[in-house]
Amino acid sequence: MASSLTKDAAQQGTPANGGKTFFGHPRGLATLFMTEMWERFSFYGMRALLVLYLISGGADAKVGSQGGGLAMTAASATAIYAVYMALVYLLAMPGGWFGDRVWGPRKTVIVGSCVVIAGHIVLAIPGQTFFVGLAMVACGSGLLKSNISTMVGHLYDGPQDPRRDGGFTVFYMSINLGSMAAPIIVGGIGQGLNWHLGFATAALGMALGLIQFLIGTRNLNPQSSQVPTPLTVAERNGWLRKGLIWAVVAAVFYGIVVGTGHFTLNWALVPLAVIGICVPCIVLLRIKRDKDLSSTEQAKVSGYLWFFFAAAVFWMIFDQAGSTLSVFAEKNTAESVFGLGFPSSWMQSVNPVWVLALAPVFASAWMALARRNREPSTPVKFAMAMVLIGASYFFFLLPIAMSSDGTKVSPMWLITVYGLQTMGELCLSPVGLSVTTKLAPQKYASQMMGVWFLAVTAGDSVISLVSISGADLSGVGVLVTEAALAVLAGLAVFMYRKKITPLMGDVH
């Protein structure tokens, strides 16, 4: 059955048989490209507005800015943002599980898209339901994230298909196109006209993605409609029973907290942040202690732990682009460059622009060095990423000092900070994805990509707890601590590279 499905997929959009293609790839890639682009449009559009909306009308908002937000402090807004980001990546694992065991990838993407649209609509309705909408968007994004990538793989004739890597590269461009356009359109409408209209625009983007997906499903591999390992009746009943038990426990606990008048937002944020730290640790510990793994696989997992924890520190800093850096852009950065004015939310488009500009440079550099047998090893690339992300925050101290008296600094300072962070991202993110698949034990081959995303969850959860504790994330002390931690982590990886490399076995 599997071979026939692959053959069917190859017949649509294979140059050899004259089928229609998308840049030389199966026609179904166009469907998934557009769906992912619009999903990222909705995600990054909402992200560009989130912290600004939460502080709008409060003491930490810029003087004269649009009101109508939730008037929160920057610390509370940052904690909420960090927990939200952590949840999106944490929920990618159960999202993949639903695709594998309940609905199949195609149906899971449709359900996830509908949940995202509904979540943005809830966000677009003024009232007390904002956090319900935020939770819905996180759940929908989790359902989408793993399964749409799985369907890209289904388009090709196995891992050895020569077009496969190129297909994922084309697909990756959809993420950057969506994330580049979203802050300009959604951010411009939300920040310039009305917050809720901006959230509605994000809903429209995801709706366009869903329509594109439904129209183009005929070009997808039939395998994407199948449930690879469906739950048995006993397993389904067991999961339902466990889910109901935990739901009742949570309802009773929070019912008591609310009923006694003790509930604050931290009663929700702190448990979620703690879960975001505990789950990655438990998952890694379970894999490391699995007695079914061979000694070689155990060694590779030990080597992978270095990369995982370094990545968690990296994403802890990198993901503050939508919180700490966003607030600085709003309050301390001039909203014009070369005489052209723009809202602060547009600064969220800088990173994807840097990615589009620098990714070909880095790819060419690695290839050129490889031809000379001088390409840096994976540990060295990770060390470079950590030093660069740390350097970006040391550099960030300069515009912070310059604006301490109320002076508005040039946007070029933040653009440079984003540039340093993007260079670090290009040293770590694609390399991390690759090394995750290479070091994965055979038993956990399909789960390890979700484990990689848990590094983002862990990093964002840590920064959420730091913010909840009352620390000023834009304060010099915290920034220096984060920057120093990143640089020290990079130096540790570099210094121990000769011990890490043997653990990796035949992976370099």
Q: How far is CA 331 from the centre of its chain?
A: 26
Asked if the model's pLDDT at residue 5 lies above 70, the reply is no
Task: Quick: pLDDT tens for 286-300.
Answer: 999 999 999 999 999
Task: Write out pLDDT tens, residues 228-274.
Answer: 889 999 999 999 999 999 999 999 999 999 999 999 989 999 999 99
For residues 207-236, average pLDDT: 93
pLDDT at 130 over 90: yes
Instruction: Quote the pLDDT of residue 42.
Output: 94
DSSP element (H, E) containing 247: helix 233-259
Q: Would you say residue 138 has pLDDT above 70?
A: yes
Q: Above 80 in pLDDT, residue 13?
A: no
Cα–Cα distance, 90 to 19 (Å, whole number): 39
Mean pLDDT of the chain: 90
The larger pLDDT score, comparing residue 128 to residue 221, is at: 221
Give me the mean pLDDT over the 424-438 stretch.
86
Strands 25-26 and 336-337: unpaired
User: Could you name the CATH architecture of 1-230?
Assistant: Up-down Bundle (1.20)
| Crossing angle of the two packed helices 92-101 and 130-154, in degrees rounded to 10 | 50
Confidence (pLDDT) at 245: 96
For the cut 60, the answer to whether the pLDDT of residue 160 exceeds it is: yes
Cα distance between residue 386 and residue 394, in whole Å: 12
Residue ranges, CATH 1.20.1250.20, the chain: 1-230, 277-508
Q: How confident is the model at residue 477 (pLDDT cuts 50, 70, 90)?
A: very high
What's the rounded Cα separation, in Å, for the pair 488 and 458? Answer: 18
Tokens of residue 302, six digits: 């030990």
Q: Give the residues across from 25 on adjacent strands.
A: 22
Q: Which pLDDT does position 32 carry in this prediction? A: 93
Of 210, 28, 221, 255, whose CA–CA distance to 120 is shortest?
Answer: 210
In contact, 353 and 470? CB cutoff 8 Å: no
Q: Degrees (nearest 5) of the Cα angle 343, 479, 465?
A: 90
Return the pLDDT at 157: 83
Share of the chain above pLDDT 90, in %: 72
Q: Is the pLDDT of residue 23 over 80?
A: no
Q: What is the pLDDT of residue 446?
A: 64
Count the Cβ atoms, other than its own, within 10 Å of residue 338: 5
**Domain 277-508: CATH class, spelled out:** mainly alpha
Residue 341: is its pLDDT beyond 90?
no
Angle at 175 between CA 171 and CA 181, to 5 degrees: 135
Does residue 9 have a pLDDT over 50? no
Distance CA(203)–CA(43), nearest Å, equals 9
Residue 17 has pLDDT above 60, yes or no: no
Of the pLDDT bands very low, low, confident and very high (cuts 50, 70, 90), residue 282 is very high
pLDDT at 6 over 70: no
Rg of the chain (C-alpha set): 23
Which of the four pLDDT bands, split at 50, 70 and 90, describes residue 16? very low
Taking only the tens place, the pLDDT of each residue in 35-92 is 999 999 999 999 999 999 999 999 999 988 899 999 999 999 999 999 999 999 999 8
Rounded average pLDDT over 91-100: 89
Above pLDDT 70, what percent of the chain?
95
- Residue 7: the pLDDT is 36
Q: Of 189, 210, 211, nearest to 200 (Cα)?
A: 189
pLDDT of residue 349: 95
Q: What are phi and psi of 474, to 5 degrees?
A: -100, 5
Using a 10 angstrom Cβ sphere, with 0-12 exposed, 13-18 middle and 19 or more buried, the burial of residue 315 is buried
Higher pLDDT among residues 340 and 308, named by residue: 308
Give whole-number Cα distances, 173 to 40, 210, 220, 283, in Å: 11, 19, 19, 31
What one-letter code names the amino acid at 277? I
Section 117-133 average pLDDT = 93
